[in-house]
Chains A and B, each alone.
Chain A
Amino acid sequence: MARLTVPKTYKLYIGGKFPRTESGRSIAVENLHGETIAHICHGSRKDFRDAVESATKAFSSWSGITGYLRGQILYRMAEMLESRREEFAAAIQVTQDVTVTTARKEVDASVDRLVRFAGWTDKYQQVIGCANPIAGNYYNFTVPQPQGVVVAIAPTTPSLLGLITCIGAPLCSGNAVIAIGSDEHPMATAIFGEVCQTSDLPAGIINLITGSQQELIEHIATHRQVSGVYAANVSKKTRTAIEEGAADSVKRVRCVTIDDDAWYDNSRVASPWEIEPFVEMKTIWHPSSC
């Protein structure tokens, strides 16, 4: 008799822990033949609020450390993802209609994307900040500072590369991130928590929720502790809902529409101009005299 398998239920990743959703709901993940291969949590509004609380508490532990150290931790995440390449490639390949080669290509690009953002942590400030030559005896300079808690709404595909790109941009500048994984292809998000957990990342800096993006949109847009929203490939209706909800606490919103190939283009999705929407520019004056 064939061995009876042990199917896994992937849990949420909130505050450095793996809780099951408080809502007691789960979703079956099927392979291309319609067979259930795992279950994932169907996260709720309450799970999201818990994630915001964890992220808010953790923010200073990430924004307060040096860019150099953040870079090493992001690089550590790349190392951990590298060692699990096959697991991610298999998860993508069995649930999405792609070849093994394509799945591996996406995972490799995801590792490289983390390396890319690891490098930006102590450099983007020099690209988008500056010293200002004002007409008077003052030192005056403009420096970026992270906003706080940013919610990343990942695209349907590429489910891992898109997720990591949407997390990476706000993360590398020192924001705490809550990512809502792809509804259709949640496996990459579900497994990614295990990479985060083993990467020296302070608890609560990355939080991952799976389930239904649509169900959470209104709560994300109107939660006052959320500073920014980075949404990829959402419908016009969803975009309108996010932008309307954001008004109440003047959130920063960035909605992008990016086709599958463009996610592989670093200059398109991993430049300082993707980091800039989730930092605040601070200008500091000081008189100069004897």
Chain B
Amino acid sequence: MAMDSTQETPADWEYSPAPEKTKVSIEPKNKLFIGGKFVSPKSRSWFATINPATEEKLADIACAGKADVNAAVLAAKKALPKWSKCGGSVRAKYLYRIARRIQERSRELAILETMDGGKPIKESRDVDLPLVAQHFFYYAGWADKLEYAFPGREVSSVGVCAQIIPWNFPLLMAAWKLAPALACGNTCVLKPAETTSLTALRLAEIIQEVGLPEGVVNIVTGAGDTGRFLADHKAVQKVAFTGSTEVGKLLMRSTAGTGKKLTLELGGKGANIIFADAAIDQAVEGIITGIYFNQGHVCCAGSRLFVEESILDEVVQKLKHRLRSLRVGDPLDKNTDLGAINSQSQLDIVQQYVRTAIDEGAQLHEVHQDRLPSKGYWCHPCFFTDVQPSHTIAREEVFGPVLSVMTFRTPEEAISRANNSPYGLAAGVWTDKGSKIFEIAKKLDAGIVWCNTYNKFDAASPFGGFKESGFGREGGMQGLRPYVQLNNKNGGLL
């Protein structure tokens, strides 16, 4: 007899708590990492970082002011000549060492990532950390082979890189920025997001441990001002930013005419398209992975679901059933599917979008009814039906566990509705028909198209967007391009 996946499970099988009990020590005051040393901020300013699942303060973090940023950039500038000339195989070995130490300290890093950012331990342990280590391993191997990636060109480093990263994958974003930059012979100043600095500073410890030359990597913590000082610094030759489209546009304006190279990985409003001939149960899993992974704090999240009209009822029923089984709560519990929203301000944004969607006439399905912890920042995973393309919820990035469900009748309609967005980061397509899947994949304006899968990542796979989702790629061979100058044998820089 065929299983009906919407059938209720007969017995009430509760999960016992399975908390990750390993204790990770955190310094009460976390300093800046400049020129190979941990130093107190000249600004004498500190801010608190909290655990978003408990609202408890974890530690104080240094807030880098202009003088601190200047010191970090100058340290990177000083380290540049030696590092860029030390040879690809030497750089490779340093990166391999970093990769190994990340693997060896992965438990500590995963726990810290979960405590500081709120994501479930099973994600930080099984997704973030393995990818972080892989990223360093992958780019380590490129360091002495760069000329093979750029046929017909000689390759040299760009210089001092300012790298500004977001809070949704703190250590992974640090790896995405640092690994290719270092492999190509650049020196870096990294600014983590203010709510998630701890793992980046733990990476600084690893950088010290492996003996990376002083100043090759510098880490300055702080908020938006710190990032602006860094991007505006005259000695910076390259700015790499992952974050909102709004800030990305500001960076385009502030770097205009300066000759600084720029890469941007910005927002998204991913379309996840399900055809009637798809394997529906698998597709429903793909919807869940697409939007509820990391509480929906994912720029490539499949936040717009397009379902072929004939299977809408079936998909919605299965989605409701699956949503009921998601476990929301203590991020350190190994059974948790959705952890805490990263901050109060992000929770406010998500809740505002939910209210707006209701006001504009979309229908909320909040089938997940588990009690949420009394402290911390929490949001029930939910979805909306009766969503019109003009609704705010269908157009703007929510960056939370909120899905918009819409329908289509023909492949052409699916493509035109999916592409009807200023964003173009990622998309998903579900059908068992091979020729159809490739035709749709070809016509979607998105930098990543997941066919019969969603939210998969790999160091060898380039990531980055079309249109207002930014430019430049991270990961894969194309991920080297932002960090090299291509020199023609007859002269001239590109």
Contact = CB atoms under 8 A, between A and B. Distances in A.
Contacts of A281: 447, 462, 464, 473, 478
Given A132-B460, A281-B447, A286 B437 contact: yes
Contacts of B252: 243-244, 246-247, 250
Interface string B452-489: 11001011111110111111010011100100001011
A98 interface: no
B103 interface: no
Nearest to A244: B256
A269 to B, nearest CB: 9
Interface string A122-134: 0000011010111
Contact of A283 (B424, B445, B447): B447
Interface stretch (B19-27, B40-48, B147-155): B147-155
A267 B487 CA distance: 11
Q: How large is the interface on B (under 10, 10 to 19, 20 to 34, 35 or more residues)?
A: 35 or more
A282 B425 CA distance: 10
A248 interface: yes
A285 interface: yes
Contact of A272 (B151, B266, B437, B468): B151
**Binding site of A, secondary structure by majority: helix, strand, loop or mixed?**
mixed
Given A282-B447, A283-B448, A273 B150 contact: yes
A142 to B, nearest CB: 5
Interface in B236-273: 245, 248-250, 252-253, 255-257, 264, 266
A285 B473 CA distance: 16
A273 B220 CA distance: 34
B368 to A, nearest CB: 28
B156 to A, nearest CB: 14
A262 B255 CA distance: 27
B256 A142 contact: no
A243 B488 CA distance: 25
A147 B467 CA distance: 8
B470 to A, nearest CB: 7
B163 interface: no
Contacts of B448: 282-285
B52 to A, nearest CB: 30
Contact of B447 (A140, A242, A280): A280
A24 interface: no
B153 to A, nearest CB: 6
A200 interface: no
Nearest to B467: A250
Interface string B432-451: 00000110011001111111
Contacts of A271: 152-153
Nearest to A268: B488
A135 B445 CA distance: 26
B466 A280 contact: yes
A284 B441 contact: yes
B490 interface: yes
Contacts of A282: 441, 446-449, 466
Given A135-B460, A249-B422, A286-B437, A265 B490 contact: yes
B248 to A, nearest CB: 7
A272 to B, nearest CB: 7
A287 interface: yes
B336 interface: no
Given A250-B470, A250-B471, A285-B456, A243 B257 contact: yes
A244 B451 contact: no
Contact of A262 (B449, B450, B458, B490): B490
A286 B451 contact: yes
Given A244-B252, A262-B492, A285-B451, 9 more contacts: A132-B458, A135-B458, A135-B459, A142-B478, A246-B252, A258-B492, A267-B152, A276-B481, A283-B447
19 contacts: A127-B151, A132-B476, A138-B456, A142-B477, A147-B466, A242-B256, A243-B256, A244-B257, A246-B252, A246-B256, A249-B422, A250-B248, A250-B468, A268-B490, A282-B448, A283-B447, A283-B449, A284-B438, A285-B450
> Which 9 A-B residue pairs are closest in the complex by CB-CB distance?
A240-B257, A243-B256, A247-B252, A134-B458, A244-B256, A286-B451, A247-B249, A250-B468, A132-B460
